[in-house]
Amino acid sequence: MLAYAPHRRPRRRLSPTALTLIIGGHAVALGLLATAKMDLAVLPGKPRTELVDIPLPPEPLPEPVPAPQPRPDKPAPAPDSFIDRTTPVVPLPQPGPAFDLGPAMNSSAPDIGPLLDTPLDPPARSTPPPAAEPVRVAARAVTPSDLLRPPYPDSKRRSEEEAVLRLRLTIDARGRVTAVEPVGTADLAFLAAARTHLLRHWRYQPATEDGRAVASTQVITLRFQLEDE
């Protein structure tokens, strides 16, 4: 078995001259580095910014508040008023002596005692004139004569019955019959025939009030009577 002994290199020792050169080189390098930092701190061509303190103007002093004036508790008394002239006194006439008229003169004097105790009548009040009554004109029939008579009910014709009806008509402002109501008793057959005919065919000139057409009512008598053959 072969064994190799370790090979050691001999250490080199620096000479004093070399050591001096190395230290001098480091010093030169440090000097150059410091010079370079100072050159970089101040760049040529750029102005420096300077801060200048500008004093602010002094603040205006507050206006003095006037001291409150004391208010008097009571108003100053007004000067006494006076009149520098007097009203003249006017003498009044004195009553004269009383005369006795005697019983004859006193008896003829009227006794006004009861009149003084009697209350006076109040003044008469003027009454306003009565309002003028409106001028009313009743409705007037304008139905043609051939449409006045309602048809006779067939059942009543066969039984030869007759009737007299009193009817209350309601007429509107146009002159048309709008309602037919019996006044008293009425046969239903005669009433139905009369109501149907009057509502359909009868016409009126409407009633007026001060010249204005108004609705009105009117009572008529209608006879159902058979004609002699």
Q: Is residue 2 included in any domain, yes or no?
A: no
Helix, strand, or coil here: 59?
A: coil
Question: What one-letter code names the amino acid at 28?
Answer: V
Domain count, the chain: 1
CA proximity to 164, closest of 190, 145, 192: 190
Q: How far is CA 76 from the centre of its chain?
A: 52
Beta-strand ranges (E) seen in 54-187 are: 136-137, 140-141, 163-171, 177-182
Gyration radius of the chain over CA positions: 71
Q: Is residue 147 included in any domain, yes or no?
A: no
Q: Is residue 32 included in any domain, yes or no?
A: no
Q: What is the mean pLDDT of each run of 10 residues along the chain (229 residues)?
A: 48 69 80 61 59 72 71 54 46 51 48 52 73 89 93 93 95 96 93 95 94 94 83
The pLDDT, as a whole number, for residue 85 is 47
The pLDDT, as a whole number, for residue 171 is 96
Instruction: Identify the helix (H) or strand (E) that includes residue 37.
Output: helix 16-41
Question: What is d(CA 224, CA 186) in angstroms, rounded to the nearest whole number?
Answer: 12
Beta-strand ranges (E) seen in 48-135 are: none
The pLDDT, as a whole number, for residue 205 is 95
The pLDDT, as a whole number, for residue 11 is 57
Question: What is d(CA 45, CA 36) in angstroms, rounded to the nearest whole number?
Answer: 17
Query: Domain residues for 169?
Result: 136-142+154-224
CATH number assigned to the domain comprising residue 210: 3.30.2420.10
CA proximity to 150, closest of 204, 191, 106: 191
Q: Is residue 172 included in any domain, yes or no?
A: yes
Report pTM.
0.43
CA proximity to 210, closest of 135, 132, 137: 135
Q: Is residue 165 included in any domain, yes or no?
A: yes
Question: What is d(CA 154, CA 163) in angstroms, rounded to the nearest whole number?
Answer: 14
Q: Is residue 53 included in any domain, yes or no?
A: no
Instruction: Identify the helix (H) or strand (E) that includes residue 212.
Output: strand 212-214
Q: Are 194 and 150 in contact (CB under 8 A)?
A: yes
Greatest alpha-carbon span in the chain: 208
Q: Is residue 190 included in any domain, yes or no?
A: yes
Q: Is residue 173 included in any domain, yes or no?
A: yes
CA proximity to 172, closest of 209, 207, 147, 140: 207
SS3 content of the chain, % helix, strand, coil (to 5): 25, 15, 55
